[in-house]
Structure 1
Amino acid sequence: MQFKNIISGAAVLLASAPAVMALGSATVVNNCGYPIYFASVGQSQHANMQPLQGSYSEGYSQQGVGISIKLAPNNTVGGPVSQFEFTWANGKIAYDLSNIDGYPFSAGGMQVVPSTQGDSSNPTCVPVDCPAGQSVCTAAYNAPDDVRTMVCDENTSLTLTMCPGGSAKRSVEVREHIRYRVHARHFTVEQ
């Protein structure tokens, strides 16, 4: 009988306890028709680029530490990179896109969509959209003093989709290839 009362009391306590919300996560999805490379950088500035195999996700785990997921169309951070940046602190997740170091995905665009929207206590918990075909994304940081940071509750998950409209051409420079063909009687150049 006493055991039954203990179980009943525990059930009442659990039912009346406030629900604990799980922390959200940040996910990057490659919807482009070509490989994308990424590196998640926190307190360490070392960026070890690796191929994005479909998608990459990480939970919010370091309170007060800014995370930057660097994205590039090649396996180096030496060229143009776009950055998906977020910081978890004080029950909120602040996020943005940064093209300060280049925008190699302008042809296909990119978009961050929070899992929760329309909350009046978080009016900036909204998508960040860089439409395909625009060489400058006004929704992203393009200079260090831009103000483009959005804020949601910490239980909100963020999904960055690269090339949200589907497969796209790369936005990197294309160099013309010139082939030289030498024949015994003449010299020609093909372009």
Structure 2
Amino acid sequence: MRLPIPFLPLLSTLPSLTHALGSAFVLNNCAYPIYLWSVSSTISPSTTVLPDSYYQEPLHFDPATGGIAIKITTTPNGLYDHSPQLNFAYVIDAQANVVYYDINDVFGDTFKGEGVEVSGLDADCPVIEWKDGVQPGGVVTKACSADSDIFCSLC
């Protein structure tokens, strides 16, 4: 079942964008809570995502950095104590109505032994899959329509 997409008003910094953007979701299928921060030119407060629940943010553009990184750890202060983190990142190309997305690990393998997958419900959204939760070498960037929802599923 498709999760509802909130309407995102047109951003003044993106005058050529003529339709609503999708959302970025982080689905916590793990048996433990995860902690995340949405990072661009600012850092959001920490969000705790309990097992079998999710985090959602509308896809958006940051004029200072261009992209957004949702930084995910398994420790409450993980962004600040050098804990391993998974970065689920995206950037919007408004002219082409495309969202580019990728995942990568920093400071270790956050979900080693667990599955990590990024996908969309739309057929035009290619899948990024780490079957054992370990980055397979190099950053793999995928793209799909900016009005698509993108899901990062953990465990």
* Structure with higher strand content: 2
What's the offset of the Cα at 1:101?
A: 3.1
What's the offset of the Cα at 1:41?
A: 0.8
Q: Secondary structure at the match of 1:104?
A: coil
Q: Which runs of 5+ in 2 are unaligned?
A: 1-17
- Which residue is equivalent to 1:129? 129
- Which residue is equivalent to 1:52? 49
Q: Secondary structure at the match of 2:56?
A: strand
- Contact preservation (8 Å) 2:84, 2:109: yes
What's the offset of the Cα at 1:36?
A: 0.7
What's the offset of the Cα at 1:47?
A: 5.7
Deviations 1:91-137 (A, max 9, x none): 110000011332211121211111222x4xxxxx31111113x5x32
Number of equivalent positions? 129
- Which of 90, 110, 114 aligns to 1:108? It is 114
Deviations 1:145-190 (A, max 9, x none): x341111111111011111xxxxxxxxxxxxxxxxxxxxxxxxxxx
Identity over aligned pairs, percent: 28
Q: Tell me if 1:84 matches 2:84.
A: no
Partner AA of 1:60 in structure 2 = L
Q: Secondary structure at the match of 1:39?
A: strand
* Structure with higher helix content: 1
- Contact preservation (8 Å) 1:82, 1:101: no
Distance 1:108 1:87, change over 3 A: same
- Contact preservation (8 Å) 1:63, 1:88: no
Q: Secondary structure at the match of 2:106?
A: coil
What's the offset of the Cα at 1:21?
A: 4.4
Partners of 2:154 and 2:56 lie apart in 1 by: 14
Q: Tell me if 1:155 matches 2:147.
A: yes
- Which residue is equivalent to 2:23? 25
Partners of 1:109 and 1:70 lie apart in 2 by: 17
- Contact preservation (8 Å) 1:131, 1:137: no
- Contact preservation (8 Å) 1:84, 1:97: yes
Q: Secondary structure at the match of 1:99?
A: strand
What's the offset of the Cα at 1:49?
A: 2.6
Q: Secondary structure at the match of 1:151?
A: strand
Q: Which runs of 5+ in 1 are unaligned?
A: 1-19, 120-124, 164-191
Aligned Cα RMSD in Å?
1.9
- Which of 97, 103, 116 aligns to 1:97? It is 103
Partners of 2:31 and 2:90 lie apart in 1 by: 26
